Structure 1
Amino acid sequence: MAEATRTWARIALLSFGGPAGQIAVMHRILVEEKPWIGDGRFLHALNFCMLLPGPEAQQLATYVGWLMHGVRGGLIAGTLFVLPGVVAIMALSWLYALYGDVGLVEALFFGLKAAILAIVLQAVVRVGRRALKNDAMRVLAVLSFVAIFAFDAPFPVIVLTAALVGFLGARTGLRAFASGGGHGSVGGAHVDDAETLLGEEMAEMPSAARRTALKAGVAAIALWLAPVALLVLALGSGNVFAEIAVFFSKMAVVTFGGAYAVLAYVAQEAVGTYGWLRPGEMLDGLGMAETTPGPLIMVLQFVGFLGAFREAGWDNALLAATLGGLLTTWVTFAPCFAFIFLGAPYMERLRSNRALSAALTAVTASVVGVILNLAIWFAIHVIWREVQLIEIGPLSLELPVPGSIDWMAAALAALALIAVFRLKLGMTAVLAGAAVLGIALHAAGLLP
């Protein structure tokens, strides 16, 4: 257990680069280096986590921790995986709240926004190549984009509709929704499970382990929902802390497809409905999450932080903000433990269900359209200084004012796109280069 704890802490500190990079780090250490788990069992667990809402890398860590050391191991692995990100985002949020209007800090985030735009577009391409395998999937992606971009359809409705389409498509025998099975190999090594600590003989968990996991799952649900109910009852549904608890609890159960998929919806709600953030600040938070260890969904902590900072009305705004950020993190990740502990004992049954697999495939296709919407939303608010809302019946379009283009931001975004798509530079290099350029432009007096 001591060695496992040290290993999970090491994985957490190395978990940069989004879920793909984080899963690759776990595979290298857990499968190739130790090896504690075989390649087949690792992919088996990953497939299960891909069926769940929430950050799949954190859930994968929780699941493997549970396989190795039961509920205690799952709690240690899952908590350590997010802890560095919690600390880093909180520290950066404090600096942002205190010094965000300082020219140097503004210039830093000005550069980061351009890089983030390129990285999100790269995510559209990568997910699209994997998910849009036939015309049915491409139609789902287009319809999802139109629904959220032109008609302001709620993200949860899009996800649930796509899942229903995939499920029914598989049940009716349509070829386009046939299960492809699996998500491919991670890394290059294939370790025989017989050579690992967790061999195939562990596939059937003892009934006592199942019962313990189920009890832990129920406890996680209680620890997640009880604070939400208490806040609503004690403070009223209009209080910012109650709003944060309810809103991000909803996000926790519909975040299929990763952080990029949900960020557009969160940004629209946080900016337009609640007024917690200004449009460009979501990009600032995403820049923080991209450059710190831990799940990308940690950006939600920054949203909750600023929401409480501005809306709580406390004399000590930073204390309110800190509590708001921690509350957001709690209701975002507590459900992840519940999903793993409740679902892992029935993993085989879930993975063999073709209709459920088809539902996930359809959700992934719809997520491509949602991420494209996120990229366009970011581009509108990064490259143009003014936007206008056009509403005609159910149509609701947010479009840039042509004359308000920020040529410096456009130039930085173009350079970031060249770096990502033409030069094939890594995310860290692109982010660092964009930040340096932003500071250089500020020093030269070229930023407003």
Structure 2
Amino acid sequence: MTADSKTDVTDDHGVSLAEASRVWARVALLSFGGPAGQIAVMHRIIVDEKRWVPESRFLHALNYCMLLPGPEAQQLATYIGWLMHRTRGGIIAGGLFILPGVVSIMALSIVYALWGHVGIVAALFFGLKAAVLAIVIEAVVRIGRRSLKAPVMRGIAAASFVAIFFFSVPFPLIILAAALFGYVGASGGHAAFAAIGHGAAHEDGESLLGNEPPAHATPSVRQALNVSMIWLALWLLPVLGILLIVGSENVFAQIAVFFSKMAVVTFGGAYAVLAYVAQQAVETYHWLTPAEMLDGLGMAETTPGPLIMVLQFVGFMAAFHAPGDLPPLVAGALGGLLATWVTFTPCFLWIFLGAPYIETIRQNRALSGALAAITAAVVGVILNLAIWFAIHTVFHRTISVKGYGLSFDAPVLASIDVWSLTLSIAAACAIFRFHAGVLQTLAGSCLAGAGLFLMGAI
């Protein structure tokens, strides 16, 4: 596909493409629980077990992926697959990472569209939403522990949360401010930034791919142009075709354009994307309700693959509710697959275009500090998402607060859902106190929801 795809099945590190494909399939099938859990699984298999890449290289790639729009876990898999086996390896790693989720979410979307409002099914999703809230909160804690080891990083996270939750500051501005802050701090030799930029320099044993960039990681203008032309065509030509055939007001055109925009402007990984998409899909396009959005997130939490696969559910429901001349299920399936295509195709572009340049700056203290500050800012954005979900899970009604620069939704305390709050607290206790796994917590919450329904409580 590009010049760097002309590679033998086995590179200097000795891992064949076939062996790597089997490992990436295993990573994909075990990738439950959102980006925090997925990155942990990838780290355990790729760094600790297989020792393909050293710790410092894994974290450097992760910081770059946190900077990009889109799902950081899938992009991280693509990045490491590219490091190991060039473009072909990146496509296999990134493609396999999303395949189980595509199949699972499509099946669950069909079940939800046909029977989601039947009493017992609705009760299962009621319990699911409570567990999802606890899981998102746990993601804040897990990522925060890894990223916020210095007071200055905790300050960046807190400022990011206040800016996005209370003042609706656009996420790109928050990322830019954090990057500049981290760059200046690291350039000035501030101890906290210096430690963050180089804190992973030590290696835990030997890795197959050492610290030296592989031959294909050398950036060039010709390579960048080739990558850009191929992946921009794969991404945008279908969008232009849909617009020309059905017009801009058609739901498929709206899905193609909206999620293409999201692929560019929603930085900070899956949780940051969801915070923005949920608000737009619910409040602007009216494709689904907040409750349905939470149900979709619950589906994504219970299936392997990126949490951002919930966007396939959003696309499915949008087209299912406005099918035009198509049968609703057919329209829904096409809408879901279209949302998936325009969401994930740009991810390959960002990696194949940017990774060669990122590899050349691995020893740059200032840029490493900027990437670390961005990671801290993302923690604040995830906290924003957790509170947004909490408000819409535990309370039935909200009021909009605007004035003096403030712009946020506040819950109406009298509209509290006691059973939802109780299940959320129970799920949080299961995760934090008893260290229950994601699937155990989700299954328990669903059964609790079904039990409440059978007792007539909900």
Aligned to 1:77: 93
Contact 2:127 2:423 in 1 (8 A): yes
Report the alpha carbon displacement of residue 31 of structure 1 after superposing the two structures with TM.
Answer: 4.5
Alignment match of 1:270 (pick from 272, 277, 281): 281
Aligned to 2:121: 105
Contact 1:154 1:265 in 2 (8 A): no
Report the alpha carbon displacement of residue 427 of structure 1 after superposing the two structures with TM.
Answer: 1.8
Contact 2:75 2:348 in 1 (8 A): yes
Could you say what secondary structure the match of 1:275 adopts? coil
Aligned to 2:352: 341
Alignment of 1:381 with 2:389, yes or no, is: no
- Distance, in Å, in 2 between the alignment partners of 1:298 and 1:41 is 27
Aligned to 1:225: 236
Report the alpha carbon displacement of residue 107 of structure 1 after superposing the two structures with TM.
Answer: 0.6
Contact 1:52 1:339 in 2 (8 A): yes
- Distance, in Å, in 2 between the alignment partners of 1:29 and 1:128 is 22
Contact 1:178 1:358 in 2 (8 A): yes
- Distance, in Å, in 2 between the alignment partners of 1:261 and 1:372 is 10
Q: CA offsets per residue over residues 320-372 of structure 1, 9 Å max, x none? A: 22121111111111111112211222333232333433332332232222222
Alignment of 1:239 with 2:244, yes or no, is: no
Q: Which residues of structure 1 form unaligned runs of 5+? A: none
For 1:138-149, what aligned pairs fall within 5 Å after superposition? 138-149=154-165
**Equivalent pairs, count:** 442
Q: CA offsets per residue over residues 408-435 of structure 1, 9 Å max, x none? A: 1111112112222222322222111111
Change (3 A) 1:217 1:103: same
For 1:18-97, what aligned pairs fall within 5 Å after superposition? 18-34=34-50, 36-37=52-53, 41-43=57-59, 45-97=61-113
Alignment match of 2:206 (pick from 192, 217, 233): 192
Could you say what secondary structure the match of 2:196 adopts? coil
Change (3 A) 1:127 1:316: same
- Distance, in Å, in 1 between the alignment partners of 2:176 and 2:38 is 27
Q: Which residues of structure 2 form unaligned runs of 5+? A: 1-16
Could you say what secondary structure the match of 2:399 adopts? strand
Could you say what secondary structure the match of 1:319 adopts? helix
Alignment of 1:283 with 2:297, yes or no, is: no
- Distance, in Å, in 2 between the alignment partners of 1:402 and 1:53 is 35
Contact 1:15 1:21 in 2 (8 A): yes
Alignment of 1:124 with 2:124, yes or no, is: no
Identity of aligned residues (%): 62
Alignment match of 1:294 (pick from 290, 301, 305): 305
| Farther-moved stretch of structure 1 (204-213 vs 432-441) | 204-213
Change (3 A) 1:420 1:35: closer
Q: RMSD over aligned Cα, in angstroms?
A: 3.0
- Distance, in Å, in 2 between the alignment partners of 1:169 and 1:38 is 26
Aligned to 1:252: 263
Report the alpha carbon displacement of residue 88 of structure 1 after superposing the two structures with TM.
Answer: 0.4
Aligned to 1:203: 214
Alignment match of 1:153 (pick from 169, 172, 182): 169
Could you say what secondary structure the match of 1:205 adopts? helix
Report the alpha carbon displacement of residue 8 of structure 1 after superposing the two structures with TM.
Answer: 2.3
Aligned to 1:2: 18
- Distance, in Å, in 1 between the alignment partners of 2:19 and 2:442 is 34
Aligned to 2:315: 304
- Distance, in Å, in 2 between the alignment partners of 1:137 and 1:124 is 14
Could you say what secondary structure the match of 1:351 adopts? coil
- Distance, in Å, in 2 between the alignment partners of 1:377 and 1:36 is 38
Letter in 2 for 1:415: A
Report the alpha carbon displacement of residue 91 of structure 1 after superposing the two structures with TM.
Answer: 0.8
Contact 1:309 1:318 in 2 (8 A): yes
Change (3 A) 1:153 1:42: closer
Aligned to 2:382: 371
Q: CA offsets per residue over residues 172-223 of structure 1, 9 Å max, x none? A: 666665561267599xx93413xx3x45666343869996686345411221
Change (3 A) 1:306 1:206: closer
| Farther-moved stretch of structure 1 (329-338 vs 386-395) | 386-395
Contact 1:48 1:350 in 2 (8 A): no
